[in-house]
Every structure is written in structure tokens, then in C-alpha cells.
Structure 1
Amino acid sequence: MIYLLALISIALGSTGQFVLKLAAGELRPASGIWNLIYSMISLKMVFAVSCFVFSMLMWIFVLRKLELSIAYPMVSLGYILVMLLSFFFLQEQVSAAKVGGTLLIVAGVIVLNMK
């Protein structure tokens, strides 16, 4: 159950990153700090921040049950989710180097979780 909670937390964090990218693309050039802050207020920005907050709250429960040296490397699984979201929804290129690097990260997570 705790691993499922960890995966949900990681998925929420990845979703937050994706939506934050969408929100950042809609920012208007601002002449001052207050104009910039005002331009950041949008539904996408609120949704992204909400994803981060819920992800953090879930992560606190994960950390209560798992060792940090086991739990924290799992966060890197978010790289896979972000890469997939970027590929499918933002039409970003996925090179062999990106896939290879991501697979190395996943392999590291698997090795760290072996007993």
C-alpha cells in the first residue's frame, strides 16, 4: 500500500510539472514584479500548485513508513512520467540519450530497492 501511495505522489508531482510548463507558456511579458505575479494567476497555475501540495502531503506519509534511502530514489520515476507527458502532449523529442539515461535511473531505483 505504501508503494502505491508513493507512486500516486510521484504521479501528482509529475502532473504538476507538466501543467506548470503549460502555465509558464501562457505568461505574458511583465514590466514589474507585481505584473509578473498577477500574470501567474490562472487555473493551470492553481492546478499545478495543488498537485505539488497534495504530492507533498502524500510523500510525508510515505516517509513515515519507508527509509529515506529507499523512498527518495523512487522520486526519479517521475522523470519517466514527465518524459512521456512531454512526448505525447508537448511533442517534445525523445532521443536515444534521453531514453538511455532514464533507463539507467530506473535501473538504479530497482537496484536500491532490492533486498
Structure 2
Amino acid sequence: MSNVTPFPSQSAQGAKGPVGQTGFDRLELQRIMDLYGRMVAAGHWRDYAIDLGREAAIFSAFRRSAERPEFRIEKRPSLRHRQGMWALIGEAGHVLKRGAELQGILAPVERRLLKIVGD
């Protein structure tokens, strides 16, 4: 019980680079959870998962918890200056939309929500 193991720090990492993990900031997560709540209220989504890793932060939305996610919203900061750090990925794993702004990435899902509510 007397052994204390410190967490690794960025200074301890040295030349290898920072250790951190990629995550969603408050406004990004609020925007994603707002869309998720509206899809749950429409009866389309029932579960979600968040995966925070070194290269990417991923929000997955499920119709049922035992299935593959219907949509994955990925944030990859390493692609910020190339293709844009945001990607919307479909159930089969293909990229539906990629860009620099979260609002543009969520647009196809929001259009689908309008069709669901309109029916």
C-alpha cells in the first residue's frame, strides 16, 4: 500500500511527443448530444458509445446496442490541415462526409431526422 506510481507526464515523454488523448470539447459534445437526444426522441437511436484515443475521438450512435453503430462521428486532429478533422462514417464503414466544421458533418443526419419526424 505504500507504493505510489505517478502518472506519466508530457515532460517525461521527451522527444517522442505529448502523451495526451484526443477528446471533444464542451461545445462539440453539446452539439453531438443535442442531435443524439433528438434522434432518441424520434425513436431512431437507443444507445451511444464514446471512444477517446490518442489519434481520434469517436462518437458512435446505435439503433440497438447489439448492432454495429449506424453512424460514427470521428474527430482526428492530425487531418486538420489535409481533409478536415471531422468525418461522418456510415454503418458499413464508408466515409459519408468529411470536413473541417462539425456542423457540416452533422447535416446529413439532421436531414434524416427531418424525414423521420415528418413521416
TM-score tier by shorter-chain length is under 0.3
Indicate the structure with greater strand content: 2
| Greater RCO, 1 or 2 (C-alpha within 8 Å, sep 6+) | 1
Indicate the structure with greater helix content: 1
Q: Over alpha carbons, which structure has the higher Rg?
A: 2
